[in-house]
Amino acid sequence: MSYKSCSSFELKDIDLERQRSNTKDKAGTRITYADALDDEEAGPAMDRNRYPSMARSFVRDRRNSVSSIRTTRSNLELTRTITRRRSIDPEATLPIGFRTLSIHVEGTKEKAPLPVGKGKGTSKSQAVELTNLDWHKLSLDELQKRLLTSITGGLSSAVAKTNLARNGPNKPTPVSNKLAQRVFWYIFGGFGSLLITASILTFISWKPLGSPPAEATLALAIVLLAVNAVQAFFNAYQDYSTAKTMSSIGSLLPSDCVIVRDDTNITVKSENLVVGDLVRITMGIKIPADLRLTEASADLRFDRAVLTGEAEPIPGLVDISDENFLETKNIALQGTHCVGGSGYGIVVQTGDKTIFGRISVLSQGKKEGKTTLELEIFRFVRIIVGLALVTSVMVVILWAAWLRRDHPRWITTSLLIVDIVSVCVAFVPEGLPMAVTISLTIIANKMKSSNVLCKSLATVETLGAVNLICSDKTGTLTMNKMFVVKAGIEEKEWTPEEAHDDYITTKTNPEDPVRVLHSVASLCCTATFDAATLNLPLSERKMFGDATDCAVLRFSEIISPIANIRESWSKIFEIPFNSKNKFMLRMMRPISQEAFLDATLSTERRTYSLADYHMTIKGAPDVLMSRCSRVLLPSGEIVDLTEERKQVLQAVQEKWSATGLRVLMFARKIVPDAEITQDLGGPDATAFATYIEQEARQDMICVGLVGIVDPPKEDIPEVVSICRGAGIRFFMVTGDFKLTAAAIARQVGIITRAEVDTLEDLQRDLKVIPNHHFVRSIVLSGPELITLNENQWSQLCQYEEVVFARTTPEQKLRIVKEFQSRDNIVAMTGDGVNDAPSLKAADIGIAMAGGSDVAIEAADMVLLEDFGAIVQAIESGRLVFDNLKKTVLYLLPAGSFSELWPVLTSIVLGIPQSLSSFLMIIICCLTDAANSMTLAFEQPEADLLLRRPRNVKTDRLADWKLLLHAYVFLGIPECLVSFAMAFWWMQRSGGIPFSVFWLSYGDYPAEYSAGQIQHAINVGSSIFFVNLVIMQLFNLLATRTRRLSIFQHPPLFSQRSRNPYLFCGMIFSLLVAFLFNYVPKLQSILGAADVPVEHWFLPVAFGMVLLLLDEGRKWFVRRYPTSFMAQIAW
Separation CA 1117–CA 1111 (nearest Å): 10
The closest alpha carbon to 315, from 345, 340, 292, belongs to: 340
Backbone angles phi, psi at 56, to 5 degrees: -65, -45
Separation CA 563–CA 68 (nearest Å): 12
The closest alpha carbon to 1050, from 1004, 1111, 999, 1130, belongs to: 1111
Judge contact between 260 and 160, C-beta under 8 A. no
Amino acid found at 4: K
Separation CA 932–CA 825 (nearest Å): 30
The closest alpha carbon to 198, from 389, 430, 416, 418, belongs to: 418
The closest alpha carbon to 952, from 405, 401, 488, 371, belongs to: 371
The closest alpha carbon to 263, from 546, 499, 69, 51, belongs to: 69
Which position among 35, 322, 352, 472 bears the catalytic label?
A: 472
Separation CA 314–CA 33 (nearest Å): 13
Separation CA 241–CA 439 (nearest Å): 12
Separation CA 332–CA 936 (nearest Å): 48
- Residue 527 CA neighbour count, 13 Å, CB half: 22
Dihedral, CA of residue 481, residue 487, residue 493 and residue 495, to nearest 10: -50
The closest alpha carbon to 463, from 70, 859, 163, 807, belongs to: 859
Judge contact between 931 and 890, C-beta under 8 A. yes
What is the C-alpha R_g of the chain?
Answer: 37
* Residue 951, helix vs strand vs coil: coil
Separation CA 291–CA 348 (nearest Å): 6
**612 counts as catalytic:** no
User: Do the bridges between strand 628-632 and strand 613-619 make them parallel or antiparallel, or are there none, so unpaired?
Assistant: unpaired
Largest distance between two CA atoms of the chain? 132
CA distances from 652 to 616, 638, 707 (A): 21, 19, 10
* Residue 94, helix vs strand vs coil: coil
The closest alpha carbon to 307, from 576, 90, 100, 467, belongs to: 90
End-to-end CA distance of the chain: 46
The closest alpha carbon to 573, from 85, 84, 80, belongs to: 80
Backbone angles phi, psi at 572, to 5 degrees: -100, -40
b/e per residue 300-318 (b: at least 16 CB within 10 A): bbbbbbbbbbbbbbbebbb
b/e per residue 911-921 (b: at least 16 CB within 10 A): bbbbbbbbbbb
The closest alpha carbon to 215, from 227, 224, 228, 203, belongs to: 203
The closest alpha carbon to 876, from 459, 467, 453, 443, belongs to: 443
Judge contact between 203 and 195, C-beta under 8 A. no
Judge contact between 844 and 818, C-beta under 8 A. no
Q: What's the distance, CA 333 to chain centroid?
A: 24
Q: What's the distance, CA 993 to chain centroid?
A: 65
356: which residues sit within 8 A by CB, 6+ positions away? 172, 290, 307, 333, 334, 335
For residue 52, cis peptide bond before it (omega within 30 degrees of 0): no
Catalytic residues: 472
